[in-house]
Structure 1
Amino acid sequence: MKEAMNQYFSLRKEIAKEGLDFLFKTPFDEDAESLIYIGEVDEDEYISWQPVEKGFYDFNSLEEDLGVRIHPSVIEYFNSYYFADLDGFINDYYIKLESVLKKEDIDSYSNTLKGYKNNHDNKLENIPLGIEGNGLNVVVDNEDGSVKLEDFERNSFEVISESIELLITSLRLKR
């Protein structure tokens, strides 16, 4: 997972150097892990950021609370880096994955998981990981780790990647 993220963040840096510096700007959050911030907050309340490797967060209590084992790739994703944005295009879709800005993000993510489980017959066959530009959920199949787009209204799924790692390395930052 870290290698896929390294590749993605390197690509993001290359494109930012081409004049798209907004790729490493984010609204300032005083509760975020300050290690990711670079420089000062600008007049629009944005600040530059950089990905920073993070330590391991144990998901056992969350899994016990939810009564489910979370796919290992999702746990790896949340234990790789602190970062503000991980987004891009795959096929004709714009994908925005969950950011990891602070230790408490796992706590807020647990609320997301509980809400998702509640809306899916009290099951977590898929684990939410982000959103698609038209409002579809980006989910990880909790059995095989594939990444899918979920249309909740139609109760349909479309596989867009075999894994989170492949999704991340396939994301384009320009159309």
Structure 2
Amino acid sequence: MSEKAQRVAATGLSSSYNSYLPQALSTQLNKHGWRMIAYACKMCGVKINRPTSDSSCSNLIKHASNCLWKQSESRSIESLAAVGIGGTGDIDPREVPQLCAVWCAEAARPFTTLVDASHRAILHPTVLKNLPARRTVLKDIHMMYSGIQQSLKSVLNEHQGALY
């Protein structure tokens, strides 16, 4: 029966076969114990096994159109960096608590804004995975303000003369 499978694979006339690498005899058997024909997709590499008795190529056409659609979708989604917006590189997960504290402090926003559903939708995936607890953000903000306060005190102590 393998000769029949090879003959069917060799005589594929439809243009739908253009999306696939040359057919090969599959090691997979159909329900009758006959070997099937494997069609490897040129776009994604997935092998589609078909019985030799099946001359329909609708499943091959459907797979090829799905692959084309997925490729066009992935091309249409552009990264922010691709359109000229900088500073959107990889985020170190260890920096996430500090970034959240800085954002809350600079924007004078409560931490609850970070966990709001509409805000979470625009957060970087690394930030979402490593979003700190409320207490952690409060502690980090307190440490930042304490550090800035000490720095400001030393600058003011070193200043000579009056401040206007």
TM (normalized to structure 2)? 0.23
TM (normalized to structure 1)? 0.22
Higher relative contact order (CA closer than 8 Å, sequence separation 6+): 1
Structure with the largest fraction of helix: 2
Choose 1 or 2 for highest CA Rg: 2
Structure with the largest fraction of strand: 1
